[in-house]
A and B are shown apart, each in its own frame.
Chain A
Amino acid sequence: GNSVTQMEGPVTLSEEAFLTINCTYTATGYPSLFWYVQYPGEGLQLLLKATKADDKGSNKGFEATYRKETTSFHLEKGSVQVSDSAVYFCALVSGSARQLTFGSGTQLTVLP
């Protein structure tokens, strides 16, 4: 079956630091990969996605590249802000049912 493994948190960084959150996956076929973000008290929002190997998804300064050879989709941001404090979920969808498989989430706290 499908699975997503995310770097364990929590992660605490100072403002303007570099962020990496690791994500690796196991899936049948050719999955599409996603990063979702959950701000406190809210539902999940799609942050970025990549639908095929070597695609780079990007949004709001965040980037992630679909690496088929290492089955990875690591999230990066060059300079984090306090407003980036949230929980980040890596996820994949594979097959026609469009069912998302989520990682366990990584709590990010950015200090001023």
Chain B
Amino acid sequence: NAGVTQTPKFQVLKTGQSMTLQCAQDMNHNSMYWYRQDPGMGLRLIYYSASEGTTDKGEVPNGYNVSRLNKREFSLRLESAAPSQTSVYFCASTDNYEQYFGPGTRLTVT
């Protein structure tokens, strides 16, 4: 049972480049989430999807877009990367109160 998987694990981008972070879960969960983790700030919610076909903004959505491709997959896109988006990105899923997290993607924007 893989749980929540994320690709890639590491990525370096130049300012202005675009990329998509992939997330998939095999637990048949309805809700999925994207967070960013920055030192001293805990995790902040970027976007979430309460169910297949719906997405909503979280606390820090600017500069990001998401797609809930199907029940399993929830991708996060950076259209024009900025140094302020250097962070560790976590995907999570849940069907109740316990959220299951992926291993994270460490993104550096230079």
Mark A residues whose CB is within 8 Å of B.
4, 32, 34, 41-46, 49, 51, 89, 93, 97-100, 102-105
Q: B41 near A: Cβ within 8 Å?
A: yes
Q: Give which listed residue, A44, A51, A98, contacts B43 with CB less than 8 A.
A: A44
Complex: A51 Cα to B56 Cα, angstroms: 25
Task: A42-B104, A97-B50 given; name 11 further pairs at CB < 8 Å.
Answer: A41-B103, A42-B103, A44-B43, A44-B92, A98-B50, A98-B96, A100-B33, A100-B45, A102-B43, A103-B42, A104-B40
What band does the interface of chain B fall in when counting residues whose beta carbon is under 8 Å from A? 20 to 34
Separation of A49 and B92 alpha carbons in the complex (Å)? 17
CB-nearest residue of chain B relative to A103?
B42
Q: Which residues of B contact A99 (CB under 8 A)?
A: 33, 45, 48, 58
Residues of A within 8 A of B43 (CB): 44, 89, 100, 102
Instruction: Out of A43, A51, A98, A102, name the residue touching B4 (CB < 8 Å).
Output: A43
Binding site for A on B (CB under 8 A): 4, 31, 33, 40-45, 48, 50, 56, 58, 90, 92, 94, 96-99, 101-104
Name which residue of chain A comes closest to B50, CB basis: A97
> Is the CB–CB distance between B99 and A100 below 8 Å?
yes
Question: Taking the nearest CB of chain B, how far is it from the CB of A86, in angstroms?
Answer: 14
- Assess the A104–B103 pair: CB atoms within 8 A: no
**Smallest Cβ distance from B33 to chain A, in angstroms?**
8
By CB atoms of chain A within 10 A, which of B33, B42, B45, B50 has the most?
Answer: B42
In the complex, the answer to whether B42 meets A105 with C-beta atoms within 8 Å is yes
B98 partner, pick from A4, A49, A105, beta carbons under 8 A: A49
A-B contact pairs, 12 of them (CB 8 A): A32-B97, A44-B90, A46-B98, A51-B97, A89-B43, A97-B56, A98-B99, A99-B45, A99-B58, A100-B33, A103-B42, A105-B40
